[in-house]
Amino acid sequence: MAAGTADFVVIANRLPVDRVTAPDGETLWRKSPGGLVTALEPVMRSNGGAWIGWHGASDEKLKPFDHDGLQLVPVHLTEQEVAEYYEGFSNATLWPLYHDVVVAPEFHREWWDSYVKVNRRFAEKAAKVARKNAVVWVQDYQLQLVPRMLRELRPDLRIGFFLHIPFPPTELFQQLPWRKEILEGLLGADLVGFQMPGAAQNFVRLVRQRVGHKTHRDLVYLPDGRTVMARAYPISIDAAGFEELARTPHVLARAAEIRESLGNPTTVILGIDRLDYTKGLRQRLRAFGELIAEGSLHVDDAVFVQVATPSRERVQQYKILRDDINRLVGRINGDVGRIGHQPIQYLHASYPREEMAALYRAADVMVVTPLRDGMNLVAKEYVACRYDNRGSLVLSEFAGAASELKSAYQVNPHDINGLKASLLEAVQSGPRTSAKRMKAMRKQVMENDIERWAGNFLRELNEGPGAHAMTLRPSAP
């Protein structure tokens, strides 16, 4: 297949832009919020980069286009493919399986067939776009078959893959009827990246057991002579960008306004999550409700603000969760609230980055208690915004971030009594204790940001076994 136009290609389920309609009816594209594009943008600009992804609308084909100097290559999906490849196999099969089977995954052959078909479409698009000896970086669980498919089409390419969510232990992964195909798909990459060392070890163990390749530590030796590396690269955020935003007068004024609108309570507790059954919303709300009911916290002094960003609204499990959380919030507020004082302020909405920064600045305690999470960047965003070294973080030990943010109040979210005790300790901690803990977390987050993460991954991809001569320039001159 003929080589294309880009020396560096990113392949992700979605393009890094959202379509918006201007007041005059004109269609515009706006860069999506998120650290990944922020980190990769300079590398893409310096290397004639292209980003391949779905543009968010079904049954619509768009030609490649440039946005703000970036080459964007849309991949079309039919309505049926959105239902089967994305909502089905990606989010009702892989997502629950990879998150410790918090809910039961569904295994449907037609979903798998659609997953294969769409992954092939992404791989074929990349094969056309990538120049000879280009570097290609495939992102996340929706596209685990792409590395091998692309390798077969373009053996000259240097291919990396990064999984943003957890990779499950052997006992769970083996439930997947297509387990061998997924493993072989990932082995098309030269470097397979995970959030945690344990995930990389799970992968290597499964390859040895289920595919039969020879392995040694983080290396897999393939019969064709290639060596695949499997390593951990804990992802991070644009830490300096968040701190800069948190220091702006507008955000500070908005933070004060938020506290005032809550009645200027002594303590503002905050949770910000996608509405997802992996995030532990039920457990934390129950714990807070019990603390109010038993008098450990007073309804006049403490308010819990829970932002639940709408997510996968058409998937049945998410509809059930939304209704459950609505009922739970209503019951707790009805039981322990009183006129003018609702202890839980529940917001089922998404907010821009500026509002998130204001919420982080307004909160005395941040509660991040997923039942399972690859990393959880909200925890790091809160820390980056607390340049005053105030505030406390209550963090699930089952979030990847727990291995880095060791000074957080770490909890088992299934242990409601333990969660209550940690919440209370965080609320009651003195300024010296809070400052000591926050300083340690801020050092970790500020020194290990998203640029360092991307740089480490791409450097090892370029320098690993079998690397060709071409290397990416890290940023524009």
- For 291-330, write each residue's pLDDT tens digit: 999 999 999 999 999 999 988 777 778 888 999 999 999 9
Tell me what the pLDDT averaged over the chain comes to.
93
Confidence band of 1 (pLDDT split at 50, 70, 90)? very low
Where in the sequence is the domain holding 423, given as residue range(s)?
A: 239-446
185-198 pLDDT per residue, tens: 999 999 999 999 99
> What are the CA-CA distances from residue 261 to residues 105, 265, 366, 427 (Å)?
42, 10, 19, 20
Is residue 145 domain-shared with residue 201, that is, in the same domain?
yes
Segment 39-48 shows an average pLDDT of 81
Which residue in the list 164, 298, 341, 348 is annotated as catalytic? Answer: 164
Q: Specify the pLDDT at position 468.
A: 61
Q: Distance between terminal CA atoms of the chain?
A: 32
Is residue 102 domain-shared with residue 179, that is, in the same domain?
yes
Confidence band of 471 (pLDDT split at 50, 70, 90)? low
Is residue 162 domain-shared with residue 177, that is, in the same domain?
yes
Is residue 114 domain-shared with residue 222, that is, in the same domain?
yes
pTM: 0.95
Helices (H), 301-396: 316-336, 353-362, 377-385
Which residue in the list 140, 238, 373, 449 is annotated as catalytic? Answer: 373
143-167 pLDDT per residue, tens: 999 999 999 999 999 999 999 999 9
Is residue 92 domain-shared with residue 119, that is, in the same domain?
yes
Q: Specify the pLDDT at position 477.
A: 38
Tell me if residue 368 falls in helix, strand or coil.
Answer: strand
In a domain? residue 396: yes
Percent of the chain's residues with pLDDT above 70: 96
Is residue 342 domain-shared with residue 207, that is, in the same domain?
no
Confidence band of 2 (pLDDT split at 50, 70, 90)? low
Q: Specify the pLDDT at position 464.
A: 79
Active site residue 373: yes
Q: Specify the pLDDT at position 43.
A: 83
Q: What is the CATH number of the domain that holds 308?
A: 3.40.50.2000
Helices (H), 193-312: 197-206, 239-246, 249-261, 281-293
Is residue 383 domain-shared with residue 287, that is, in the same domain?
yes
Confidence band of 114 (pLDDT split at 50, 70, 90)? very high
What total number of domains does the chain contain?
A: 2
207-265 pLDDT per residue, tens: 999 999 999 999 999 999 999 999 999 999 999 999 999 999 999 999 999 999 999 99
In a domain? residue 475: no
* DSSP strand pairing (214-216 vs 17-21): unpaired
Report the alpha-carbon distance of residue 445 to residue 449 in Å, rounded. 6
Is residue 217 domain-shared with residue 253, that is, in the same domain?
no
Q: Specify the pLDDT at position 475.
A: 52
67-110 pLDDT per residue, tens: 888 899 999 999 999 999 999 999 999 999 999 999 999 999 99
| Residues sharing a CB contact under 8 Å with residue 99, sequence separation 6 or more, in sequence order | 165, 166, 278, 371, 372, 373
In a domain? residue 272: yes
Q: Specify the pLDDT at position 211.
A: 95
> What are the CA-CA distances from residue 323 to residues 264, 313, 317, 320, 352 (Å)?
30, 12, 10, 5, 25
In a domain? residue 293: yes
In a domain? residue 472: no
- 417 by Cβ neighbours in 10 Å (0-12 / 13-18 / 19+) ranks as exposed
Residue 410 near residue 379 (C-beta atoms within 8 A): no
Is residue 123 domain-shared with residue 219, that is, in the same domain?
yes
Is residue 30 domain-shared with residue 124, that is, in the same domain?
yes
Is residue 216 domain-shared with residue 264, that is, in the same domain?
no
Active site residue 300: no
In a domain? residue 382: yes
Q: How many residues does the chain have?
A: 477
Confidence band of 469 (pLDDT split at 50, 70, 90)? very low
Is residue 210 domain-shared with residue 106, that is, in the same domain?
yes
